[in-house]
Each structure stands twice: as C-alpha cells, then as structure tokens.
A and B are shown apart, each in its own frame.
Chain A
Amino acid sequence: MQILELFGQFLYDLRTRKLRVFLAVSGIAWGALSVILLLAIGDAFHAASNKAFHGMGESIVILWTARTTKPYAGMKPGRSIEMKADEVLRMGSEVDEIGMASPELTHDGRTLEFGGHRVKAAVAGVIPEYEQPRNMIPMPGGRFLDPLDIEGRSRVIFIGNELKTKLFGDTDAVGHTLFVDGRPFTVIGSLTKKIQTSNYSGPDEDRAFIPYTTFISMWGNRDVSNTVLVPATPGDSEAMKRAVYRHLGRRMGFDPQDEAALQMWDTVEMDRFVNWFFWGVKALMGLGGILTLGAGGIGVANIMFLVVRERTREIGVRMAVGARDSDVLAQVLLEALLIVFIGGFLGFVTAAGVIAGINALPIPDWLGAPQLSPTVALVTVAVLAVVGLAAGYAPARRAASMDPVRALEF
C-alpha cells in the first residue's frame, strides 16, 4: 500500500466529508494539546519542586545528638549526648558508610557590620566539604571555604544572599571586610539565590559561614549544633544511619539500639517520597490528557466506521482484484493513524505556541517553566500511535472481514 495513495484517499475524504474530518482531527488535536500541556506543566512543576526541595541539599542526612532513653554500661537513661567538632571529623574518617561528615557549629544573633549597615545573623562554623551537598553555590567571582582557611583559622566569611543585600546592596561584596562581633572578616563569596523549602537553623540566605576552626578560636570549642552527613553510597542512607548508631554508641557510650539518643533528618527518604508524589501527580495529569485523547480517538473510530461503510464497494473492488484481508486492514489502520497524526501535529504546534505564551508570562519559580522536552514529545507520539491503532482497529477489522461479493453488491 503506497503512502501517496493513502494521502489521496485522505484528501478525498477531506473533500467529501469536510465537517466530519474536521471534527475528528480537531478532537485529536485537542487531546494531544492537553496531553502535551499537562505533561509539560507536570514536568516543570516536578523539576522546580525538586530544585526547591534540594535547596537545603541533595540526599543528605542532618544529625542531632539528643538524650539516651536506655540504661547503658551502668549509666542511667536521660543522659544527654554531646559532640565536639573533632568527634564529627573522626566519625567521618572512621565510618566507611559515611561519604562526608561536616560539623556545624552555630552561633545565633551575631552582629554583622559593613559601612554603617548592621544586621543580626546566625554564623556557622563548617568545613569546605559542606559546600556541595548543601548547595552552597557561590556567585561568580566568589568562592566557598577551602582547606587553607581551615588550617590557618582564616578570618574569611561566606554570606547568604539576603545578608549580602542588606550589608552591601547591589555592589560586589567579595574582597571587602565586614565585622563580626567587632572583628574583621574578609568576604570570600556570597550565596547564589536558591529556592529552599526546608531548613533547620534558618534559611541559608540569612546565614554566614566561616571555618569551624576560626569559629572555635572566636567562641570556644563548643558542642556542635548538628552534623551534615552524606552517605558513601548515594541514596543508601539506611546503612549509614545504622553505622552511625554503632559508631557513636561505642564512642559516646550509649546503646546503639537506643534510637532516641540521636535524631536524624533523612532527606533521602523525603526525596523518595517527593518523587513518588510527583510521579503520582504526573500520572494523574497524564491520565487526564490521555482520557481527553481517548475521547478524540472515539471520534476517529466513529469516522473510520463511516468511511468503511461508505467505502464498502471500494473494499469489494480491492478484494476482487486481489487485496488480502491484511491489505484492507492496513489501509484502514493507516488512514486512522494519518488522521490521528495530523491532529496530533496540530495539537503539538498549538501546544508549542501555548508553552511559549506561558513562558512569556511571569511564572512563579515554584511552578517552573514548562518545556516541550523530547520525553514529552516521545510520550505524546507513543500515546497518539496507540490511540490511532485502537481507534482504527475495530473499523479495520470490519472492513477486512467483508465478503467480496456482498461488498460489491452493497
């Protein structure tokens, strides 16, 4: 069966049944449009939310020490567990399941001053490795802490973007000296604005970060406020958490089964949940689109039944000159697919226009900018093919099972 002849047939149907072909094609176009838009918006929303959830960090575990609830080695329950920074670093190097462990010492309400502006903010002492998992992305021209800063207890400071704006306005902060509780610090970088939906001691945009060694020299060797952990195996936070209980239980003297002795906030778990949630949202949206497309498919099936009926005699002629059942079947199926893909193409073009329109509007960050991604396109094409085949199948079967003489005498 030649494609050209098929097109000829389609054009003939178009001429003789303008309204019906128009309705069938626009039904599919409308369905394709909704599938594409819903998928694209769902994807954008998912991506934006993922970014936002990961503002605090990707696949990290935040650890706090707490109180024991079980007696251990002659000690009563209710003892509070505390760690110093070196204990955290030791844990990081001794526990294989840990990929990275950064102590975080936080001092709230410090005074930061620059050029007559002064603000109160929390200052945290951390290590350079804190940068990547916690998404501390410096603005161009700046940097986060480095090992030399730790070694030299340098008076260097990395500031959140809100702090930067409050102290420096629009001007560049890097290289300037600001005062923390009256002592001079050189600004080495400021945070790139990020969407952060979760935090533990205030959003990063309002905080400042200095080497933990510098922190200790300024405010003493305090207990850490919390620890940031990254599993050695990405995503495998469970093994790491068990290892942490064993290690700290031994080091700090508590029962590793005493869950309450430590508190851990596992964003890996949350990631998993968020991903499931969004898959659910996308599946629902996709389903909505597919149902719309399905309704369009029914329109196509309907017109194909009419086409087959009106072409009964022609089908008889084809059979009389040697068309096999499969030739007749293929012809009807291909015509259904052609209608569906023409409709799909129109839907696709319209969707591209609508998406361009949406992106020209000020869309809130949390919603994300919808894109016509290859995945969306591929899914749409696959769904269209399924709809076309499903819509064409019953009419095609009817056509292919006709009796040649009955068809000719129709």
Chain B
Amino acid sequence: MIRAENLHKNYLMGRVTVAALKGVDVHIHAGEYVAILGPSGSGKSTLMHILGCLDTPSSGSYHLAGEPVQGLSRNQLARVRNERIGFVFQSFNLLAHATALGNVELPLVYNGSGRRVRQERAAELLERVGLGDRMEHRPNELSGGQRQRVALARALATDPDVILADEPTGNLDTAAGEEVVKLFEELIAEGKTVIIVTHDLEIAHRARRIIQLRDGRIEQDSSPPRWA
C-alpha cells in the first residue's frame, strides 16, 4: 500500500538547511496497523505529511497503492488526498463555523457528491463514531474527544484506504483517547491501513508494528514485513 524509499526532507531556515528526514524507507501493507514513535523533532509529522500527500519530499520516491506520487500536480495531489487518504490531526482542525455534519461533509463537497449523498453519508459516519445526537453541534459545543471523533468521521467520508493520524490523542484525556483508539482498531478490523503517531507507549504497543524515528532516521522497525 505504502512504499517510500530514501525519503529526505530539508527545510531552509535562512541560510541553514535543517534536515528533518535523512533517508527514510517505509513499506507498509494494506491492512497494517503501524505506530510511529520518536522524540520531539525526530521527523514524525514531516513523514506523516509526506505520506499524506500534504507535503512533498526533497528527494526519494513514494508509491501509494502502486502509483508514483512524485511528479503529481497540485490538483492531482488534492485528488489523492481526497480519495485515498484520511488525515486526523492532533488539534482536530475542524471548521469553526460549520456543524459536525458540515465538517464531515467537507471531503464529499470536493469530490462533487450531491447534497443528499453527502448528508446521508455524513450522518451515517457520525452515528458510527457515536455522535448521532450531536450532528448540528458546532466544534465549540463539543468536548475534545467528541471533536476528534468528528475529525475521524471526516477522515472516513470518502472511504479512503489509508488513515493517517498525527498524535490523535495528544490533546485528549485518557478516557477520550481510549475511545478514539478503539475506533482506529475497528477500522483495522475492517481492513483499513492505519498509521498513528503517538507518544503514548501503551497505545503504540497495541499496534502490530512500531516504527521508531530518531533524528530523521528510522532507528527501529519492530516487525519489518518479511512478506514484502
């Protein structure tokens, strides 16, 4: 599903070049549940952004579902993000003025779905994450855990194969975090590929595979796929 090789990412800070990724190889199969661990600044978010097609590597190659991602235009990348990837952020990133329903509908707006289809799908997903009674609530009327579940429903709107979550429980208390993690585990049971960045070792160990990043490199990959 994901095949990234020799990824480098350099940031130019004034005259200094900061290397955030220094040659990362990741191969992840469909249906895998992967946790990414690493100290702050080790390049976890940078990697996730590249895997999520939100950012492009300075060098290296990346194939998503067998198709090369490098060289795609901005529009093509937008399409990949829309159709193949669901991204969950630490800080939820919901639209403040839209209802839960409106937020979940958003990816469907950009794939051209009709109004009815959007609303039905969004309602179904909100039911699924346990927010059937909060559809007309705006983000500031929801708790952190509820917001993150809205964000997860949004990530699922176009039924993408890959769910990327960058510290999804980072802003949540243990109970709320637990509910979100349970939802990720349900997705795995349905055959989705889930990659989750976390500082929480307990959560990480529930994943079947742990990738440890340090200083822009992979320090350890707990179960390198033998069948690759």
**Interface residues, chain A, CB within 8 Å of chain B?**
1-2, 5, 8-9, 12, 313-314, 316-327, 403-405, 408
The closest CB in chain B to the CB of A323 belongs to B110
Measured between alpha carbons, how far is A403 from B56 in the docked complex, in Å? 10
Least distance between A149 CB and chain B CB atoms (Å): 76
Least distance between A366 CB and chain B CB atoms (Å): 55
Measured between alpha carbons, how far is A316 from B106 in the docked complex, in Å? 13
Quick one: which of B60-100 are within 8 Å of A by CB?
A: 74-75, 78-79, 81-83, 87, 89, 93-98
**B55 at the A/B interface (Cβ < 8 Å)?**
yes
Q: Are B106 and A325 in contact (CB under 8 A)?
A: no
Q: Are A322 and B55 in contact (CB under 8 A)?
A: no
Interface centre among B52, B74, B111 (most CB of A within 10 A): B74
Q: Are A1 and B54 in contact (CB under 8 A)?
A: no
Residues of B within 8 A of A318 (CB): 106, 110
The closest CB in chain B to the CB of A319 belongs to B78
Q: Are A321 and B102 in contact (CB under 8 A)?
A: no
Contacts known (A313-B93, A404-B55, A405-B54); A324 close to B75, Cβ less than 8 A: yes
Residues of A within 8 A of B54 (CB): 319-320, 404-405, 408
The closest CB in chain A to the CB of B46 belongs to A405
Residues of A within 8 A of B81 (CB): 319-322, 404
**B115 at the A/B interface (Cβ < 8 Å)?**
yes
Measured between alpha carbons, how far is A324 from B97 in the docked complex, in Å? 21
Q: List 17 A-B contacts (CB under 8 A).
A: A8-B98, A12-B96, A313-B93, A317-B93, A317-B106, A318-B110, A321-B106, A322-B83, A322-B107, A323-B110, A324-B110, A325-B74, A325-B75, A327-B110, A403-B55, A405-B49, A405-B54
Q: Are B82 and A322 in contact (CB under 8 A)?
A: yes
Q: Are B75 and A321 in contact (CB under 8 A)?
A: no
Least distance between A7 CB and chain B CB atoms (Å): 11
The closest CB in chain B to the CB of A9 belongs to B97
Interface centre among A8, A313, A318, A324 (most CB of B within 10 A): A324
**B154 at the A/B interface (Cβ < 8 Å)?**
yes
Quick one: which of B150-184 are within 8 Å of A by CB?
A: 154, 157-158
Q: Are B78 and A323 in contact (CB under 8 A)?
A: yes
Least distance between B120 CB and chain A CB atoms (Å): 16
**B109 at the A/B interface (Cβ < 8 Å)?**
yes
Quick one: which of B13-58 are within 8 Å of A by CB?
A: 49, 52, 54-55
Residues of A within 8 A of B111 (CB): 322
Residues of A within 8 A of B96 (CB): 12, 314
Q: Are B82 and A321 in contact (CB under 8 A)?
A: yes
Least distance between B38 CB and chain A CB atoms (Å): 18
Residues of B within 8 A of A322 (CB): 78-79, 81-83, 107, 110-111, 158
Least distance between A404 CB and chain B CB atoms (Å): 5
Across chains A and B, which 7 residue pairs bring their CB atoms closest together, nearest first?
Answer: A322-B82, A322-B110, A12-B97, A321-B107, A324-B78, A404-B54, A405-B55
Least distance between B111 CB and chain A CB atoms (Å): 6
Tell me which of A2, A314, A320, A403 contacts B87 (CB under 8 A). A320
Least distance between A67 CB and chain B CB atoms (Å): 82
Residues of B within 8 A of A319 (CB): 54, 78, 81
Least distance between B117 CB and chain A CB atoms (Å): 13
Residues of A within 8 A of B55 (CB): 403-405
The closest CB in chain A to the CB of B102 belongs to A5
Residues of A within 8 A of B107 (CB): 321-322
The closest CB in chain A to the CB of B155 belongs to A321
Q: Scoring B residues 93 to 130 as 1 if CB is less than 8 Å from chain A, else 0, what string do you get? A: 11111100010001101110001000000000000000
Interface centre among A12, A316, A317, A403 (most CB of B within 10 A): A317
Measured between alpha carbons, how far is A12 from B96 in the docked complex, in Å? 10
Interface centre among A1, A12, A320 (most CB of B within 10 A): A320
Tell me which of B82, B89, B95 contacts A314 (CB under 8 A). B95
Residues of B within 8 A of A5 (CB): 98, 102, 109
Measured between alpha carbons, how far is A319 from B55 in the docked complex, in Å? 11
The closest CB in chain B to the CB of A327 belongs to B110
Residues of A within 8 A of B115 (CB): 2
